[in-house]
Amino acid sequence: MKWNVKLFFAINRLSGRLWLLDAFGRAGAEWVLFAMLGWLAVTSYARYDNDVVQLVTITLSFVCTSVLGLFSSFLVAAIVREPRPYVRYPTAVTTLFTSFLSWKSFPSDHSLAAFLIAGIAYCFGLPWVMPLFGMMLWVWFGRVYAGVHYPVDTLAGGVLGGLILLVYGLVGLPLVQQVVLRLVYIWL
């Protein structure tokens, strides 16, 4: 058995034993992303409330990286074709819920999104970024604990998010900034 699967079962074995740990794991697996997204919106507005250009740039950056991220994730998944742990080991895995796409485990879209949110917040210099990285790790743990991803799936989601942010920062961001400046000039 691969180390990835062994680590998965070591974490997933804890599932279903303590209701508080189950609540923590399920929150990380399903709901923390919404808190991270809300945090991104609130701190962006708090930091740049008088700078329409920066607010629109952050919003478009999140949209562009998310679309590129989902496209890249599904492209990788179509090549790798790794089913979720509860599909591969139906009697051995404790699941807290079943996921929408049972055929796609690698890479984790939730981990990708968590990394993109934390990375965008860091790149734009938003306050209180470090708790976001803690929340990102909570999402990664929750996805494994809930039985819907292997540890490598969550790590691959983060790596893919990092690559997308790197490419976007080098190519996409300068283009978005030019477009936003022109649009704001036209509107104002």
How many Cβ atoms are within 10 Å of 167's Cβ, its own excluded?
14
Give residue 28's pLDDT: 95
Give residue 23's pLDDT: 96
Give residue 1's pLDDT: 58
Question: How far is 99 from 3, CA to CA, in rounded Å?
Answer: 23
Give residue 188's pLDDT: 65
Q: What is the pLDDT along the chain (188 residues), one digit of tens a residue?
A: 599 999 999 999 999 999 999 999 999 999 999 999 999 999 999 999 888 889 999 999 999 999 999 999 999 999 999 999 999 999 999 999 888 778 899 999 999 999 999 999 999 999 889 999 999 999 999 999 999 999 999 999 999 999 999 999 999 888 988 888 888 777 76
Give residue 73's pLDDT: 97
Give residue 54's pLDDT: 92
The domain locations on the chain are 34-187
Half-sphere CA count of 39, side-chain side, radius 13 A: 23
**Which alpha helices (DSSP H) does the chain contain, by range?**
3-12, 19-26, 32-47, 52-80, 85-88, 109-123, 130-145, 151-167, 173-187
